[in-house]
């Protein structure tokens, strides 16, 4: 079938303004949007720039705004985004666009780094694994699925307008360790997120939960951190 | 997201109503005549129709406020937020439609 892909192009070396360009490609309904983007880049216009690495929904590098919703281009089938109309593809919002669909991810990674997304322990290291019951492991299972694609953070209206907000992903990253029974950095992480730009900025719009390509209940994780802060003592 | 947007809009609307309401009520101490004129204006059909909007705003804000409390403090609230939104819309319709019928027959029926 013939599909029209409408892409928001931006090249700061040519023009300060982003412009919409339409491309006609032939694609199967079961092809992915990423396949259509490849056809544009390989056959029609080699200057089109976007990130993708694994192309199978694992690396999280091709998050983009497709038909107004944040998705992974490699996990979105053409037939699911109404191919009878032009399919719009834009860079994710709230991060500086570098070129076409490529954004500067550094502010996003900075927020992630600031919540200490690593195991914090004290005392001597054990000579074997740090064991954990199945129930303790299940407590934070949902937030271990995160692939840092930024689909949640860049779907958040609070993040769009408030550049200081940690964003949903950083809170998911903190949640993964806060509720891990082996970790001892919980108080530090909760203190970081108790900041006025921390979890309290969340207004529960649920955009992040709907955007997550891994099906993480992001807003639920944020609410759990809020409740941990309220009831911790 | 749209329930969040509507919550902000109805909140600001109610704030401006309360602002006007405090002024008109306060006038009873400053000038009872001016108070009477203001209250007479409120009895006109135009204000009657605006009151429908006010009740819609208060009703939505109150019901969605309960939804937000549940999302914040009920463990399963975030999981069922969509169903809660449909609940808010359902209760809104059940309360609002009879009100509009009763209120507008009063306003225009005399």
Mean pLDDT of chain B: 91
Alpha-carbon distance B3 to nearest alpha carbon in chain A (angstroms): 8
Q: Which residues of A touch B81 (CB under 8 A)?
A: 204, 206, 219
- CATH code 3.10.20.30 for A2-103: yes
CB contact under 8 A, B79 and A217: yes
A148 has a pLDDT exceeding 80: yes
pLDDT above 90 covers a percentage of chain B that reads 60
CB contact under 8 A, A203 and B78: no
Q: Domains in chain B, ordered, with CATH? A: 2-109 (1.20.1300.10)
Please tell me the predicted confidence (pLDDT) of residue B110.
59
The answer to whether the complex's ipTM is over 0.85 is no
Question: Cβ of A204: how many Cβ atoms within 10 Å?
Answer: 22
What fold does the segment set A106-231 form as a domain? Answer: Fumarate Reductase Iron-sulfur Protein; Chain B, domain 2 (1.10.1060)
CB contact under 8 A, A157 and B79: no
CB contact under 8 A, A205 and B68: no
Tokens read off for A136: 């303790």
d(CA A23, CA A87) in angstroms, rounded, equals 10
Averaged pLDDT, A164-179: 95
Residue-wise pLDDT for B57-98, tens only, equals 999 999 999 999 999 999 898 999 999 999 999 999 999 999
Q: Which of B1, B79, B82 sits opposite A207 (nearest CB)?
A: B1
Among chain B, residues having any CB pair with chain A shorter than 8 Å are: 1, 4, 68, 71-73, 77-79, 81-82
Is there a contact between A24 and A2 (Cβ–Cβ < 8 Å)?
yes
CB contact under 8 A, B72 and A204: yes
Please tell me the predicted confidence (pLDDT) of residue B29.
85
Residues of chain A with CATH 1.10.1060.10: 106-231
Is there a contact between A164 and A193 (Cβ–Cβ < 8 Å)?
no
A233 has a pLDDT exceeding 70: no
Q: Which residues of A touch B78 (CB under 8 A)?
A: 204, 206, 209, 217, 219-220, 223
Is there a contact between A64 and A13 (Cβ–Cβ < 8 Å)?
no
Please tell me the predicted confidence (pLDDT) of residue B48.
86
Is there a contact between A115 and A189 (Cβ–Cβ < 8 Å)?
yes
Please tell me the predicted confidence (pLDDT) of residue B34.
86
Instruction: Determine the residue among B6, B77, B78, B86 to mutate to test chain A binding: the one whose Cβ has the most chain A Cβ atoms within 10 Å.
Output: B78
Is any Cβ of chain B less than 8 angstroms from the Cβ of A144? no
d(CA A94, CA A167) in angstroms, rounded, equals 11
Please tell me the predicted confidence (pLDDT) of residue A91.
97
Residues of chain A with CATH 3.10.20.30: 2-103
CA distances from B2 to A67, A68, A205, B63 (A): 17, 14, 8, 15
Predicted model pTM? 0.88
Residue-wise pLDDT for A188-229, tens only, equals 999 999 998 899 999 999 999 999 999 999 999 999 999 999
Residue-wise pLDDT for A4-48, tens only, equals 999 999 999 999 999 999 999 999 999 999 999 999 999 999 999
Q: Which residues of A touch B68 (CB under 8 A)?
A: 204
Residues in chain B: 110
Give contacts of A 190-209 with B, CB under 8 A: 203-207, 209
Residue-wise pLDDT for A73-115, tens only, equals 999 999 999 999 999 999 999 999 999 999 999 999 999 999 9
DSSP string, A177-194: HHT-TT---HHHHHHHHT
Rg (CA), chain B: 17
């Amino acid at each position: 079938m013939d599909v029209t892909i409408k892409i928001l192009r931006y090249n700061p070396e040519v023009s300060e303004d982003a412009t919409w360009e339409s491309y006609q490609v032939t694609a199967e309904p079961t092809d992915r949007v990423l396949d259509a983007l490849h056809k544009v880049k390989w056959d029609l216009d080699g200057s089109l720039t976007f990130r993708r690495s694994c192309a199978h929904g694992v690396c999280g590098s091709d998050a983009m705004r497709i038909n107004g919703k944040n998705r992974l281009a490699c996990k979105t089938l053409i037939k699911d985004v109404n191919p009878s109309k032009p399919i719009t593809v834009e860079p994710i919002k709230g991060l500086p666009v570098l070129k076409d669909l490529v954004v500067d991810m550094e502010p996003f990674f900075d927020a992630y780094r600031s919540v200490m997304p690593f195991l914090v322990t004290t005392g001597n290291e054990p000579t074997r694994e740090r064991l954990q019951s199945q129930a303790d492991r299940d407590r934070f299972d949902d937030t271990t699925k995160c692939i840092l694609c930024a689909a949640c953070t860049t779907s958040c209206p609070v993040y769009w307008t408030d550049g200081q907000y940690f964003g949903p992903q950083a809170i998911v990253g903190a949640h993964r360790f806060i509720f891990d029974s082996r970790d001892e950095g919980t108080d530090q992480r909760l203190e970081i997120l108790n900041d006025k730009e921390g979890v309290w900025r969340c207004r529960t719009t649920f955009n992040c939960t709907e955007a997550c390509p891994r099906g993480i209940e992001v807003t639920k994780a944020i609410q759990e951190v809020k409740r941990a802060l309220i009831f911790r003592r | 997201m749209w329930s969040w947007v509507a919550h902000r809009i109805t909140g600001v609307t109610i704030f401006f109503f309360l602002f006007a309401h405090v002024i008109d009520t306060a006038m009873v101490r400053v000038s009872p005549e001016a108070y009477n004129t203001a209250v007479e204006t409120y009895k006109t059909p135009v204000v009657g129709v605006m009151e429908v909007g006010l009740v819609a705003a208060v009703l939505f804000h109150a019901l969605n406020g309960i939804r937000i409390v549940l999302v914040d403090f009920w463990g399963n609230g975030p999981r069922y937020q969509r169903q809660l939104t449909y609940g808010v819309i359902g209760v809104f319709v059940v309360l609002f439609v009879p009100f509009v019928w009763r209120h507008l027959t009063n306003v225009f029926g005399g």
